[in-house]
Every structure is written in C-alpha cells, then in structure tokens.
C-alpha cells in the first residue's frame, strides 16, 4: 500500500512558489472557463498548503517547514470555510467549456471538497479518529528528516521550531477528541503508536545535532526536552483518559460506508455490485490456484489427491498443501528487508528485459518502517512529493516486533515467505507503486498529483503483480504463481471484509475463518487485517475495484488500438495522466467523453 501520510486531510496541496503568484503565459490562450479554473486551482493549492504546513512539506513546498497545522476548532472552521468558498467558485465555472484535462481536474477537486465538507460536518472524524492527529504529529518531523531536500542544519532548525510547537498540536488533539466517541481499536492503536514519536527524535535528529553551532544546538536540545515531555504527557492522557472511555462503535454502518465509498472510488460501482464481483472472483481465483497447485504437487508422494473435478475438500487440501511448500521457504526474522531489496532488483531486471514500461532512473530504498507508523500495514511505498521528484522513494517494511513469540514470528514469515516477499516487492516497487507514482509525478498538474486516486494507485499495484506472471516472471516456479494468486485473493477478500465488517456485522471469528480458510492467510496476517479493517473505512476496497478497472481499461485499449496495441505503449499511456480515478484515465487515453 502507499503511505497514508500524504492523505491526512482532504484539503492539501502544493505548487511552486512562482505559479502561485501569476498564471503562466500559455494560460492566456485558454478559454475563459479554463483561465478561471486554473486560477482557482492555484488559489486552492496555495491556501491549502498554508492551512496544512505538514502536508506542504511532504508535497515539496518548504515555505512553512517551521510551522504546524492548526487542528483546533478555529483552524478546522477556517479550512471548512475555505472549502465551501472554493466549491462555490468551482460550481460557478461552466465545466463544458473546460479542456478535457481541466474537466478531469475539476471533477477531482469537486469530489475532494465535498468529501472534506462531509467528513468535517457529518462524519466528524476529527472528534473520534485520533490516528489523523498521530499522522500529523509524526509526519511533522519525519517529513523534515527522511529526505535531503535541504542542508541538514536547515532541516534541523525547522525540526527545532516544530518540536517547540508540537505540544500545542497535541494539546489541541486532546481538546478536540471526544473520548466517548472514539472506538476502542482506534484508541488502542493510538496508545501503541504515540510513543514512537520520540523515536524519530532519537533516530533521526539527535545523532546530527553536532552540525549546529552552540546556540542553535542548545535551542534544539531544549526543544527535544519540551517535545519528549509533551509526548509523555499525551501518552498519560491516552492511557488514563482516552482508552478507558473509548467504547464507541467502530463499524461505520451502511449510510456512512456508502457515502465514503463514493468519495473514495469516484466510481459507479455500488457496494452490492462490488460484493457480487468479489464473490465471483473468489471462486475463479481459487479454481486457478487449484490448477497451479496440481503442478506444484506433481510427483510428490505425500501430496493429497488432485482430481480434475475436485470436491471442495479436495480443492482446499491441495491448495493448502502447495502453499505449505511455499511457506516452508521463509527468511530469518532479521532478513526481511534484505530479501525485499533483492526482490526489487530481480523484478526490475525482468521489467527492463521485457520492455514492459518506462522505468524510473533511480533506485527505491527499502527501509524499516518508522516506529510511529507501525501496526496497520506490513509494507508501503513512500514516494517524494510531486515537487521533489529527484528525492528518494522509500519502500518501508515493518520489522517483526521484538516482543513477538517464535510462534507468532513463524506465522508471519510463513505468510511473508521468500516468494510472497518477492510479490510484495513487485506490488510496492517494480513495476508497482514506485514505478506508477514516478510516472504520476511527471504529469504537470500538481493539483491532480496531490489528489491522486487510491483505487487507481492500489489497483495498479495489484495489476502489476498479475502482469508479471502473465509475462512469464518466474515462469518455471509454480509456487511463485500460486503466491501471486494468493495475493490476488487477498485483494478480493479485502473488498469483501471491508463492507462485511462495517455494514453486515461480520464478527472477528467469522472474518478469521474466512481469511484463514477461504483466503488461505496465516493467523498473524488475518489478525492484523482485523485490526486494519477496524481502523479504516473503504480503503480496503480500493485494491480489488482498481484492479478490475485497470483490467477493463486494458481490454478497451486493445480493442481500440488493434494491431497498434503493445504493453509498453499502453502502460506508459495510461500512467501519463497522473493518478486520476481509473474512469478518467481511460477516458483521456481513449478520447472518450469525460463523465
């Protein structure tokens, strides 16, 4: 999955300082509607990053690196007022007179603004979801220190200023959160992640304080003391006040889920249609897993029966037996990052040899996931902001917790065995997230870049896994193909449990059985997914829906281009429009009406 640090709030954005001052010269030849929209987009980008300095930093605008977001009631009111003003101005523009590119950006911006207004006024996630505040607090420092966008002393001075201000942000969080409205899973995760804020200082700031002169170093050391004390104070409040009172229902319910689903996907697919497609996909993918399992188990004396027309029990036993073979080939608990790094390079070589897509010039760095972000996803891709394309991309992998028993670690490593880690590297890096976001950041619309579609991005990464197998990656290794199918089954299961838990009332026991039996997940993976499903609403649907949309777009392109179709032309073409919802990428690619 991609990093969620760039999606903390809906109204975010950045652009170069110069374009914020005046429209580019070429804009004078545009229609009146285009000029109005482009001016509106620049105003929105400028004001949004002013309202969210933390997101401005990670997007690549560093004018406000010393400041923090105002998450108080007055700060929230200012953001809401600006969203309403922008939406009114947007709706006053005649969209039919816009260029095709601007029609897409206008629809994306309108969706974002409506989502922000609804989330603030109706869903009121600021009152019950503490993890948004956690992402802001951690991102405030991590965004400054993770990448070398400026000299180290300059970044340390900005970190000093932010550490001095972070006690205020934490106090605002305590003021705005309403403990009785916070679900217990969210409070528990907040309690687990908050202490990790101090590790950013310990690991990324303190080792470098010697580069500062005596006066600035003294100020930095004072800010560290203040910051650490504030984190401790906040932790005491979380443990003594928030956690005991946090007993609210975590399930979103049908109305909230369906509303958020429309904002998340910007698709015509309803919850019922997604479920219908996902249920059918479970059957078809399991059938393919059985076919591949027969190949993997061939000539093994201890293998279960694999008839051509298996019973459900025979299908289950054969797939499980083959997956057990893959699970036995697992890394040591301290070599996960090394195996992931090797997987990225193997996948890169294959993509280049097959000329499947234009690949980024620079490498992706595989790192241990920062402590303040652990506990939700096993891995994510953290790309630089659209204004800093020359900086490193991180593929973050969560290390096995030190307090896990050997049994828990083995369960995790059975799930993330050697082949599965290779498939994760395809998903997160090559030709998945890293490659796709590199293409996305080359698109000139910064507005579109900061409002990228999760279903496009996640769907592409799942599509990338399928593509590699289609094109013969590890062709002679049926266990790798089986591992990829298991990952595909995971994306389908994600969409099912997303709505089944939040709308249909699926219990933890029911979900665990579905994931461990039907989807063949190990206990640790399934247990982690229960935690993640409680903490997110509709994000888990983006993988399957986006994957389906990418496959449908490729079919449409092949039909439209006929003999002129080839994979590199298609891949470079569909990724050339940034990361819009898939429907818009298809419409732009194939010159269909923008709808």
Q: Cα(472)–Cα(273) distance, rounded to whole angstroms?
A: 32
Residues 174, 107 contacting (CB under 8 angstroms):
no
Model pLDDT for residues 180-224, shown as the tens digit of each residue? 999 999 999 999 999 999 999 999 999 999 999 999 999 999 999
Residue whose token pair is 């299908």: 315
pLDDT at 160 over 80: yes
Q: Which two tokens stand for residue 365?
A: 């760095």
Per residue in 142-159, pLDDT (tens digit) is 999 988 999 999 999 999
Are 65 and 53 in contact, with CB atoms under 8 Å apart?
Answer: yes
CB-CB contact of 592 with 585 (8 Å): no
pLDDT at 239 over 70: yes
Mean pLDDT in residue range 51-69: 96
Tokens of 393: 């991309």
H-run or E-run covering 549? helix 542-561
Burial of 371 (0-12, 13-18, 19+ CB in 10 A): buried
- Both ends of the chain: CA-CA distance in Å? 28
Q: Which residues are 397's β-sheet partners?
A: 368, 379
Is 50 exceeded by the pLDDT of residue 467?
yes
Give the chain's radius of gyration (CA, Å): 24
Residue 8 in this model has a pLDDT that exceeds 90: no
Q: Per-residue pLDDT tens for 13-46? A: 233 333 333 444 444 457 999 999 999 999 999 9
The residue length of the chain stands at 595
Mean pLDDT of 71-84: 98
Task: Tell me the percentage of the chain whose pLDDT exceeds 90.
Answer: 80
Tell me the CA distances in angstroms from 352 to 6, 357, 430, 576, one per residue in order: 29, 8, 10, 19
Q: What share of the chain is helix, strand, coil (3-state, %, to 5)?
A: 70, 5, 30
> Which pTM was predicted?
0.90
Round the average pLDDT of the chain to a whole number and report it. Answer: 91
Strands 393-397 and 379-382: antiparallel
């Amino acid at each position: 999955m991609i990093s969620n640090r760039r999606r903390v709030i809906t109204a975010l954005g950045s652009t170069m300082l110069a374009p914020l001052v005046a429209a580019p010269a070429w804009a004078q030849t545009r229609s009146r509607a285009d000029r109005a929209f482009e001016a509106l987009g620049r105003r929105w980008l400028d004001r949004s990053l002013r309202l969210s300095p933390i997101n401005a930093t990670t997007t690549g605008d560093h004018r406000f690196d010393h400041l923090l977001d105002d998450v108080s009631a007055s700060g929230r009111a200012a953001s809401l007022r600006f969203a309403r003003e922008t939406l009114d101005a947007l709706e006053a523009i005649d969209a039919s007179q816009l260029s095709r590119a601007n029609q897409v950006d206008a629809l994306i911006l309108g969706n974002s603004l409506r989502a922000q207004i609804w989330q603030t006024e109706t869903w009121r996630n600021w009152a019950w979801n503490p993890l948004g505040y956690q992402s802001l607090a951690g991102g405030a420092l991590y965004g400054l220190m993770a990448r070398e966008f400026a000299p180290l002393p300059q970044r340390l001075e900005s970190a000093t200023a932010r550490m001095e201000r972070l006690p205020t942000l934490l106090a605002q969080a305590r003021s705005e959160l309403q403990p009785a409205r916070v679900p217990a899973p969210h409070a528990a995760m907040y309690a687990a992640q908050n202490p990790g804020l101090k590790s950013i200082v310990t690991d990324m700031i303190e080792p470098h304080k010697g580069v500062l002169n005596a006066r600035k170093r003294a100020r930095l050391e004072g800010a560290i003391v203040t910051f650490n004390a504030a984190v401790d104070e906040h932790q005491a409040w979380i443990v003594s006040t928030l956690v005991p009172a946090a007993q609210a229902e975590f399930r979103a319910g049908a109305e909230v889920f369906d509303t958020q689903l429309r904002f998340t996907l910007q698709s015509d697919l309803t919850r019922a249609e997604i479920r219908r497609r996902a249920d059918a996909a479970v059957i078809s993918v399991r059938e393919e897993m059985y076919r591949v399992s027969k190949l993997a188990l061939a000539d093994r004396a201890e293998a279960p029966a694999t008839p051509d027309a298996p019973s459900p029990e025979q299908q289950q036993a054969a797939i499980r037996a083959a997956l057990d073979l893959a699970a036995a080939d697992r890394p040591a608990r301290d070599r996960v990052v090394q195996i992931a790094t090797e997987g990225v390079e193997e996948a890169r070589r294959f993509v280049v040899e097959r000329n499947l897509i234009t690949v980024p010039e620079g490498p992706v760095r595989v790192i241990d996931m920062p402590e303040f972000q652990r506990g939700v996803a096993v891995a994510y891709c953290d790309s630089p902001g659209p204004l800093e394309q020359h900086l490193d991309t991180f593929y973050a992998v969560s290390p096995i917790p030190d307090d896990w028993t050997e049994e828990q670690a083995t369960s995790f490593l059975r799930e993330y065995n050697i082949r599965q880690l290779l498939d994760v590297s395809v998903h997160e890096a090559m030709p998945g997230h890293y490659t796709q976001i590199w293409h996305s950041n080359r698109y000139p619309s910064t507005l579109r870049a900061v409002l990228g579609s999760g279903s496009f991005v996640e769907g592409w990464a799942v599509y990338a896994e399928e593509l590699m197998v289609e094109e013969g990656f590890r062709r002679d290794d049926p266990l790798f193909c089986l591992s990829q199918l298991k990952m595909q089954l995971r994306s389908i299961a994600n969409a099912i449990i997303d709505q089944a838990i939040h709308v249909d009332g699926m219990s933890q026991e029911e979900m665990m059985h579905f994931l461990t039996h039907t989807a063949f997940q190990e206990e640790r993976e399934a247990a982690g997914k229960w935690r993640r499903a409680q903490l997110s609403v509709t994000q888990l649907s983006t993988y399957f829906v986006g994957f389906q949309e990418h496959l449908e777009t490729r079919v449409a392109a092949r039909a439209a281009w006929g003999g002129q179709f080839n994979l590199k032309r298609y891949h470079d073409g569909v990724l050339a429009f940034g990361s819009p919802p898939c429907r818009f990428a298809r419409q732009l690619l194939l010159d269909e009406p923008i709808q």
